[in-house]
Chains A and B, each alone.
Chain A
């Protein structure tokens, strides 16, 4: 089940970090073997700059990211807007039609398969995890499941910042608990911030109070906790007065 998978991948990341603060790099590094690919890169998108490569497992990965940025096309670009973009064989006609510059260039660098997974939580768009493989063919079921989970972990790490939890495993970023996402929307309205900032604040609050994310979120949705715009330490105040 998913929990075992999560634990297994997390311990691989801990091992990889070797005592250092666990960051998105470690999710990328673990993804190479877990997804059975040759290189992995992580790109983040911030409001101002379009794409910034924050991690590449090899020089090949860095080259492919530079190619994507220069050409402005490729699975890694599509994944930012449309969701996962999985190209099992870049030499196929549809790939050449979709990415007329990127596909031949990547094949020229020796890469036949490219899998781009968005790092996003609903309307919060953080970046992309790009996986490249020399051998053509789709990702096997287990490889894909591991890659999706590592992308989810990378999202959590980008939201929480490296080392913020002193080696504790961050809570996943995906669906499961809808109240987390509802609370994010409510905090957007309460603070007048972007959804990304709202989600970061919500997660930070849960960690600071040593509570489960879903419990804090449920309290926000039930209007027992409100976030205030004042620069108060901790970011939120309990509010028992109700509406």
Chain B
């Protein structure tokens, strides 16, 4: 924008300060990966939320390979994003899959205009996304997944943000490895498998909560995540206890739901 007013300039300054604080938070969260009861899924979920905040995009999602040649959705900043990522996997087409297969970033500034991936474009439009930027998660010579950034308006992501996004993708790769066993090649497989199983566990806990509390599965996830955060307890650990029936169920409060959706910059639809 040319002719920036003093007010606009002040706002820009504020945004930069906020970005710096957020960035510092990401580093603190990264340090958490070194402690013993580190919750990988929660870390990756938070990372997708940080992408939304820091890169000023509408949503973010993270896909990882399951070691059998198939990608799986591991984290997303919102339920809608998760569903779109799933759709992409199930139809076996989309920019994030191309990014994973080639190991190179794929940036689509205007999905409908690109004319590629017609089914994915239609599904993205349905949830309000017009642009997508996929960044590879690389580990030495392997590609282990992709970080995907979605935007409601068509347009490129500026270079600074692409760089920061790639840094965040690299941070998530480091989170997967954990310092204590970085010398062992097999650790990646162990971590990926464990993360994917935690994802299944969380789906099971969501179903159980949805049935008991008479809510839909999306709200069940919000309740589960809020309970995990307010008790400072790993998400997968809480989900396991709920599935095992050893944990009293968290209550379905409206404040809990509000607090969670307020974290996202853009509410879709």
Q: Given A148-B193, A184-B204, A185-B204, list of 4 further CB < 8 A pairs?
A: A84-B189, A139-B186, A175-B72, A221-B207
A121 (CB) vs chain B CBs: closest residue: B200
Q: Which residue of A lies closest to B212 (CB)?
A: A189
Asked whether A144 is an interface residue with its Cβ less than 8 Å from the other chain, the reply is yes
When chains A and B are docked, how far (Å) is the Cα of A221 from the Cα of B184? 41
Contact check: which of B67, B212, B239 meets A144 at CB < 8 Å? B67
| Chain A 1-43 per-residue mask, 1 if CB under 8 angstroms from chain B, else 0 | 1100100000000000000000000000000000000000000
The closest CB in chain A to the CB of B190 belongs to A84
Using a Cβ–Cβ cut-off of 8 Å, how many residues does chain B contribute to the interface with A? 40
Q: Mind listing 10 A-B residue pairs with CB under 8 Å?
A: A1-B70, A2-B69, A83-B197, A86-B189, A122-B204, A123-B204, A182-B204, A184-B207, A185-B243, A186-B211
- Residues on A with C-beta less than 8 A from B67 are 144-145, 148
Please state if A185 and B196 are interface contacts (CB–CB under 8 Å).
Answer: no
Kindly state whether residue B66 has any CB partner on chain A within 8 Å. yes
Q: What are the interface flags for B224-245 relative to A under an 8 Å C-beta threshold, 1 for contact and 0 otherwise?
A: 0000000000000001100111
- CB–CB A221/B217 < 8 A: yes
Q: What DSSP secondary structure best describes chain B's contact surface? A: helix
B72 near A185 (CB under 8 angstroms)?
A: no
The 8 Å CB contact of B190, one of A83, A149, A183, A184, is A83
User: Is B133 on the interface with A (CB-CB < 8 A)?
Assistant: no
The one of A5, A83, A187 in contact with B194, judged by C-beta atoms closer than 8 angstroms, is A83
Q: Give chain B nearest CB distance to A135 CB in angstroms.
A: 15
> A188, B68: Cβ atoms under 8 Å?
no
Q: For residue B72, which residues in chain A have a CB less than 8 angstroms away from its CB?
A: 175-176
Check: B50 CB closer than 8 A to any chain A CB: no
Which residues of A, 82-134, contact B by the 8 Å Cβ criterion? Answer: 82-88, 94, 117-118, 120-124
> What are the residues of chain A within 8 A of B200 when measuring CB–CB?
121-122, 174-175, 181
Is A210 among interface residues, defined by CB-CB distance under 8 A?
Answer: no
Q: Which residue of B184, B212, B214 contacts A243 across the interface (Cβ within 8 Å)? A: B214
Residues of B within 8 A of A83 (CB): 190, 193-194, 197
Establish whether residues B211 and A181, one from each chain, have CB atoms under 8 Å apart when the complex forms.
no
Interface flag for A170 (CB, 8 Å): no
Is B186's CB under 8 angstroms from A148's CB?
A: no
CA distance A148 to B194 in the complex (A): 12
B197 touches A122 (CB 8 A): yes
Contact status of A182 and B207, CB under 8 A, knowing A86-B186, A123-B201, A175-B196:
yes
Given A88-B186, A145-B68, A148-B193, A178-B86 contact (CB < 8 Å)? yes
Question: What is the CB-to-nearest-CB distance from B220 to chain A, in angstroms, rounded to a whole number?
Answer: 8
| CB atoms of A84 and B243 under 8 A apart | no
* A190 on the B face (CB < 8 A): yes
Cβ proximity bits A138-180 to B, threshold 8 Å, 1 near / 0 not: 1100001100110010000000000000000000001110100
